[in-house]
């Protein structure tokens, strides 16, 4: 194995998501040069690193969102609970109900708040319309900490909410499908500090139920919310350890330079 796996703080037995020797190309351009790491269940793992280091790309491999990109191919494996998600018999649609995603820019559907939550459970048959659905919608909004703010305007468009509220709506929408993993791709980069604080609080609560992987440019955020942190640089996993180690006693000088702001 390469040096990245030696830094792995999670034994593969514990890992819910096991990424092994992952190499990824966009056309002829190799974006990830063999990344291996394990992600622990019901913990928050943060991916940090300067722009273009491949952290978002790696995140999007976990729910195969990269499949949409033309000319994207990969080698290596991504295991979810012992199943290779790139195996030919894996259904992508099914996979995405187990691995939800929250995007950089809040992207609620241009429909009502209610419909934003109800859409996915309906297409997956988790709940039919009526009381069961009403309960589910309320429950998800509660868990996303949004219920009090929107309970009187469920029939208003989700796009009319503030940015932070929209992002929490997107989180509520994601947990409505009851995924096991939630991927968050810089979920706070478009939000103000107060909205960011609310999302971070939410992440803290959600990790009791879900495995969360978060990509962030904000190192304080990584330090605050995550249990484990992986530092990437130019497509390589440089260091992966529990968050306090990374931020207080990093092994590699590159990591130290980055978190102290000397580059990136």
DSSP per-residue letters across 156-204:
SBGGGS-HHHHHHHHHHHHHTT--SEEEEESTTTTS-HHHHHHHHHHHH
Residue of the chain from 170, 212, 215, 222 that contacts another protein (CB under 8 A): 170
What's the per-residue H, E or C state across 224-253?
HHCCEEEEEECCEEEEEEEHHHHHHCCCCH
Task: Compare residues 107 and 189 and give the one whose CB is closer to another protein.
Answer: 107
> With binding defined as CB under 8 A, does residue 176 bind another protein?
yes
Sheet with strand 99-102: strands edge to edge: 99-102, 181-185, 211-215, 44-48, 228-233, 236-242
Residue of the chain from 28, 51, 68, 249 that contacts another protein (CB under 8 A): 68
Residue of the chain from 6, 83, 94, 253 that contacts another protein (CB under 8 A): 94
Alpha carbon distance 55, 53 (integer Å)? 6
Residue of the chain from 5, 107, 189, 245 that contacts another protein (CB under 8 A): 107
CB of 212 within 8 A of CB of 45? Answer: yes
Task: Compare residues 19 and 183 and give the one whose CB is closer to another protein.
Answer: 183
Residue of the chain from 103, 139, 180, 256 that contacts another protein (CB under 8 A): 103
Name the 3-class secondary structure at 23. strand
Report in angstroms how near the CB of residue 187 gets to another protein at its nearest: 12
Report in angstroms how near the CB of residue 108 gets to another protein at its nearest: 7
Which positions touch another protein (CB under 8 A)? 63, 65, 68, 70, 93-94, 96-97, 100-103, 105, 107-110, 119-120, 123-124, 159, 170, 173-174, 176-177
């Amino acid at each position: 194995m390469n040096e990245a796996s030696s830094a792995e703080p999670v034994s593969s037995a514990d890992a819910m998501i096991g990424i092994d020797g992952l190499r990824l190309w966009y056309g002829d351009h190799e974006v990830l040069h063999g990344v291996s790491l394990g992600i622990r269940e019901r913990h928050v793992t943060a991916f940090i690193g300067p722009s273009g280091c491949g952290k978002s790309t790696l995140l999007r491999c976990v729910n195969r969102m990269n499949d949409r990109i033309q000319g994207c191919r990969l080698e290596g494996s991504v295991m979810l609970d012992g199943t290779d998600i790139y195996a030919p018999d894996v259904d992508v649609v099914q996979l995405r109900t187990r691995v939800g995603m929250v995007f950089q820019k809040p992207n609620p559907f241009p429909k009502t708040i209610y419909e934003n939550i109800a859409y996915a459970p309906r297409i997956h048959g988790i709940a039919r319309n009526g009381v069961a659905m009403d309960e589910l919608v309320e429950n998800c909004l509660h868990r996303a900490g949004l219920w009090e703010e929107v309970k009187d305007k469920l029939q208003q468009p989700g796009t009319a909410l503030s940015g932070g509220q929209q992002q929490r709506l997107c989180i509520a929408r994601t947990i409505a499908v009851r995924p096991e993993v939630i991927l968050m791709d810089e979920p706070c980069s478009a939000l103000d500090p107060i909205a960011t604080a609310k999302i971070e609080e939410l992440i803290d609560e959600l990790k009791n139920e879900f495995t969360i992987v978060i990509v962030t440019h904000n190192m304080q955020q990584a330090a605050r919310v995550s249990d484990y942190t992986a530092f990437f640089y130019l497509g390589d996993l440089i260091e992966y350890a529990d968050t306090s180690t990374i931020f207080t006693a990093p092994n590699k000088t590159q990591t130290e330079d980055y978190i102290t702001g000397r580059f990136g």
